[in-house]
Every structure is written in structure tokens, then in C-alpha cells.
């Protein structure tokens, strides 16, 4: 179920990429997939324009998809120059399942209370191995590691229904 603070998107089925009888998927189904996914694929752009894609863990909270990365990692360096990203999740099958692509701008989360809330949600979702403290506007672990946290509020989300009938739903946020 969509969170109360998530605006309702404009929803449309793209008939060019949808089979006969396909219908637009409800936004609540995309949110359920984003909430339940264990793994997401993040696409960023390197300074020279080449793409960079990497799997990572994350979570859906307060109407945004969140992920973290070390400040010196390729992802963080790419985001410093270009915060536009795509995050994908779903199934790795052709004829069944549902995939979602979230497009938006990655924005650093530095508010201490928000980071504490996200750290608790990370641990609840992924277990004690993913316990984070919060230090100086970043996640921290007991070994001195630190990670910047980013939120991607969707601008456009695509949902790909696989099987009979195939369908492509687009959700746009204003």
C-alpha cells in the first residue's frame, strides 16, 4: 500500500509495448515490489559519460528509494558530478514476473533523525549484519567505515509485466 506521504502518480499503459488485454498495474504493486526487493541495480554516469551499473541493497521509505555508498566509491564519485540515476529491481525471467525501473535524482540524506530511522529500517530488513550508527551525517559501522546515504524520489517509474499479456506501465510524478 502506498505510504500516506507519497503523491499519487499519473498512471498510463503504453500500448506500443503492451499486449492485447494488458492493463496498467496499480502503483501499490510497484511500491510492494520496491519495499520487498532484496537487491536493486543502480545506474549512474561516469565523468566521461560512460555508464556505471552496480547491484546494491536499499529500501523504500517515505516515498523514496534509499541506498548507501562509501564516499570514495565509484557510485559516490559519479553522483557528485551527475545525480541522475535509474534503479531497477524485479525478476530475472522473460515470461513471468514484474520489473520496476525508478528514474530520479539522488539526493544526500544528512538529517540525523532521518538517518537513524533509515539505519533502523536497514537492520530490520537485512539483519544485524547491516547495523549502522550515524556519525556526521553518514552511516557508520563499528570498524570505522562510513557511507553516504542517498534518497531517490521518483520522477518516472516504469513497470514491466512479463507473460501473457506483456505490459508496460508508466507512473509519472509531478
pLDDT, tens digit (0-9, with 9 covering 90-100), for 1-38: 345 556 689 999 999 999 999 999 999 999 999 999 99
- Give the CA diameter of the chain: 55
User: Where do the domains of the chain lie?
Assistant: 10-172
Domain at 10-172: CATH architecture: Roll (2.30)
Q: What is the DSSP string of 137-149?
A: TEEE-TTS-EEEE
**What is the average pLDDT score of the chain?**
94
- Number of Cβ within 10 Å of residue 27's Cβ equals 22
pTM for the whole structure: 0.93
pLDDT, tens digit (0-9, with 9 covering 90-100), for 132-154: 999 999 999 978 899 999 999 99
Amino acid at each position: 500500500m502506498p505510504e500516506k506521504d507519497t503523491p499519487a502518480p499519473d498512471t498510463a499503459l503504453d500500448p506500443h509495448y503492451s499486449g492485447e488485454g494488458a492493463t496498467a498495474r496499480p502503483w501499490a504493486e510497484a511500491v510492494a515490489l520496491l519495499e520487498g526487493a532484496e537487491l536493486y541495480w543502480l545506474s549512474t554516469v561516469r565523468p566521461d559519460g560512460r555508464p556505471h551499473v552496480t547491484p546494491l541493497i536499499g529500501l523504500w521509505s517515505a516515498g523514496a528509494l534509499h541506498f548507501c555508498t562509501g564516499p570514495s566509491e565509484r557510485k559516490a564519485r559519479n553522483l557528485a558530478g551527475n545525480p541522475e540515476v535509474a534503479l531497477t529491481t524485479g525478476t530475472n525471467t522473460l515470461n513471468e514476473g514484474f520489473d520496476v525501473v525508478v528514474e530520479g535524482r539522488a539526493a544526500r540524506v544528512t538529517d540525523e533523525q532521518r538517518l537513524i530511522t533509515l539505519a533502523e529500517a536497514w537492520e530490520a530488513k537485512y539483519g544485524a549484519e547491516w547495523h549502522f550508527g550515524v556519525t556526521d551525517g553518514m552511516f557508520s559501522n563499528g570498524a570505522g567505515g562510513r557511507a553516504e546515504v542517498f534518497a531517490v524520489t521518483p520522477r518516472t517509474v516504469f513497470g514491466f509485466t512479463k507473460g501473457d499479456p506483456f505490459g508496460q506501465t508508466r507512473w509519472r510524478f509531478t
